[in-house]
Structure 1
C-alpha cells in the first residue's frame, strides 16, 4: 500500500500566518503537489482552512485511495478553528459517497462560512458548492488567472484526463545548450549535475507511469525508480514500461491489451518487474494508457522514441534540463525524420524556468 503523502515543512510553516484566499490558494497548490501520483485515480487536491480572522489553521492534500481527501485532512488540522472560517480548495468539494464520505457535508458540519474553489468537479462526485450554498455557505470560484495557476500545478494532469480521456504525456530530456544528450562516443554521465538529477527523480515520484524504449532498456538497463539523494526509494513509485518491437530476454505472460501484445519481465533486470508493450505505434500505446487509471505518464527516452512522440504531436508537456555545456557534436536528445521543414515544427510555450544547481529546468506545454 502506498504511504500517505507528507506535507513538507516549507508548506506547514505557513500555519498561523494571515492569508487572503488568493494566497491560500497558492499554498493549496503547493500542498496538492505532494499528492501527485499517490492519489490516483483520485485527483491530487490541496486544501487550506482559514479561521474567522483569516489565519491559516489547516492544510491538507489528498491521501491514497481509501484515505481522507484534502478537505478532511485540513479540517482535522484546523479543529474548532474551522468554525466560521473559510475553506480554499483547488477543486470543488465532492458531494457523493465513494470510498469516503462527501467533503461538502464535512465542511458544512465543521461550520465553514465561506468556500473558495478553482475548478468545478464535473464528475459524478460534483455538486459540493451547490450543497454548501443551500446551507448558507458563501461559495466563490476563482478567476481564470488563478485557475491557470492550479492547472499548472498538481491538478493539471487530472484535468487533462477529464478533458481528453487519456493521461497527460510529458517528455523528459536532459541536454547541453546545443541539444545533445551524449557525446559522439556515447558518453552521457553526466550531462546535468546532481541537483538536476535529484529533481528528475522527484518528478518520477509524482507520475503514474514511466516509459523508455527497448533500445535504451537494452543499453542502459535502467532501474526506472524514483530515489532520493541518499538512494532510498520514494514512497510512491511509477509503473514501469518499455515500448518497442525488440524481444527482451526472460519476458513471459504474453497478453493482449487494447490490441497490443505485451509481456511482463519479472526478473533479471534493474527495472524488473515491468511491462513490455510490443509496439512502436504511439496511437496504440496512448489507447492502452487511456484504458488505465493513469493521469500522468512520463516518457524518458531514447531519442528516437521521444522524437517520434514529439513529431507526431502526442507530447502534452516537455520537461527539459539544460546544462551549461557545449559539445559541438553528439547524440541528439530527440531525433525524428518526420519533420523536414520549419513550418511543420512542433511548437510549445514556456510554463516555468528555474535554476536547479548549475542547470536550468524548463517546463513547456503544447502551444494550441
Structure 2
C-alpha cells in the first residue's frame, strides 16, 4: 500500500511538471518543453519551466525558488536533467550542489551530449537516488517533435486538414472561406506556434492569398514560422501576401526547372529564397526532396496546411507523423468540388492508410479528429 501511494504521488507531481512544460508551447523551441517541481514533506517548495535557449532551465528556476529548503528534497522533471555546458551550465551540477536527495524524471534525453555523459550516473555517483519512466508515454507525447528530430534528424510533420462533412475543402468555384468556425481557426494558430515551418501548395496561395503567420498572440517571444510554398512553375503572383509581409517570418519557395529564370530573379530580388529541386513522378515539386532540404536546414517541425494534392503527396511519401482533421457541420456536394485529399492510388481497402491513437473533440461547432500515421 505504501509503495502504491508513493507511485501515485510521483505521478501527481510529474503531471504538474507536464502542465508547466505545456505552458511553453511555441516558446521553448528548439529546446524541449520542460517543467520541474521540487517536493519536500509532501509540499511543493519550488517549480519552474524552461522558455528557450539562453533562459534558465526548469530545474534551475525550481531550485532557486526552493533555496536552502532544497536539501534532502525530491526533484521531479519530465526530461532527464542536462549534464553538459551549452547556453547554460549543467543542471546536474546545480542539483548536486543543492543536495537534492532524489531525482525523478519521466524520459531520457536523446540529445547526444546528454547521452554521452549520462546524467543518471553522474547523479548516482554523487549519492543521489534516481528514478525514471514515470508517465513516460505522456512525456514523450509532449516532446514528440524534439524526440523525433534528435533520434532521426528528420522533422516532425503535422498534416492539418479542414473539410465539410462530405469531405470537401472548397466549392466547385474554388470558394473556401470559411469552412470551419472561428474556434477551429484559433486552434490552428496554436498549431502554427508549435511549427517551425508552414508548408502549402501554390493552389492554396492563388485561391486564398494567405499570410501564413501567427496572429492574435501577446508574447514577444513568439517567432513567426518559415513560410514554405511548393510551386513547380513559379506561378506565385508578385503581389501575393507571402512576398510582401513586414512579418519577421521568412518565405522559402521550392520550384523546378520549369520555372522561368526571370521570375526566379524577380522573387529573389524581393529577398525571398527560391530553391530549385527535382520533380515528382507527377512533374510537381518533389515533396520528399523539399522535406529533405528542410531537414538539412535543421527544421525540426513542419505544419502542412494544404491543399488536397500536397496532402496526398505527403501521405503517399510517408512523410506525415500526425494528423489534425477539422470537420465542419456543412455539406457542399458536387463531383467537382475540391476533395480533402487527392488521389492516393488506392484500389483496395486493404491498401487504405490506418490512423492510430485516435481522439475526437468538439471545437466550437466543429469536430477535431487527431491521430498518428505511424
Q: What stretches of structure 2 of length at least 5 have no aligned partner?
A: 1-7, 244-251, 278-284
Q: Give the 3-state SS of the residue equivalent to 2:122 in structure 1.
A: helix
Deviations 1:281-338 (A, max 9, x none): 1221121122123222111011111111112221111111122233333321221253
Q: Cα deviations across residues 110-141 of structure 1 (Å, max 9, x unaligned)?
A: 23221111221242124222211111211111
TM-score (norm: length of structure 1): 0.82
Cα gap change, 1:352 to 1:45, in 2 (>3 Å): farther
> How far 1:350 moved relative to its partner?
2.8
Residue 117 of structure 1: SS of its match in structure 2?
A: strand
Say if 1:157 and 1:296, in contact at 8 Å, map to a contact too: yes
Determine the C-alpha separation between the residues in 2 that align with 1:298 and 1:316.
Answer: 10
Q: Quick check: 1:90–1:117 contact (8 Å CA) kept in 2?
A: yes
What's the CA shift for 1:40?
3.0
Does 2:125 correspond to 1:134?
yes
- How far apart are the structure 2 equivalents of 1:324 and 1:191? 9
Q: Is the 8 A contact 1:243 1:276 kept in 2?
A: no
- Post-superposition shift, 1:235? 2.0
Alignment partner of 1:190 out of 178, 182, 197: 178
**Partner of residue 355, structure 2:** 348
User: In the alignment, which residue of structure 2 is the partner of 1:237?
Assistant: 224
Unmatched segments (≥5 aa) in structure 1: 1-18
2:289 is aligned, of 276, 284, 296, to 284
SS in 1 for 2:194: coil
Aligned partner (choices 192, 217, 229) of residue 205 of structure 2: 217
TM-score (normalizing by structure 2): 0.80
Give 1:296's match in structure 2, choosing from 301, 317, 322: 301
CA distance 1:180–1:161, change in 2 (3 Å) = same
Distance 2:366 2:194 in 1: 21
* Match runs of 1:235-274 below 5 Å: 235-247=222-234, 248-250=236-238
CA 1:74/1:179 → structure 2, altered by over 3 Å: closer, same or farther? Answer: farther
Match for residue 47 of structure 1? 36
2:87 maps to 1:99: yes
Name the larger-Rg structure.
Answer: 2
Q: Structure 1 220/275 Cα, relative in aligned 2: closer, same or farther at 3 Å?
A: farther
Paired residue secondary structure (1:321): strand
The aligned residue for residue 8 of structure 1 is none
Paired residues, number:
338
What is the RMSD of the two structures over their aligned residues, measured on CA atoms?
A: 3.1
Shift in Å, 1:234 = 7.4
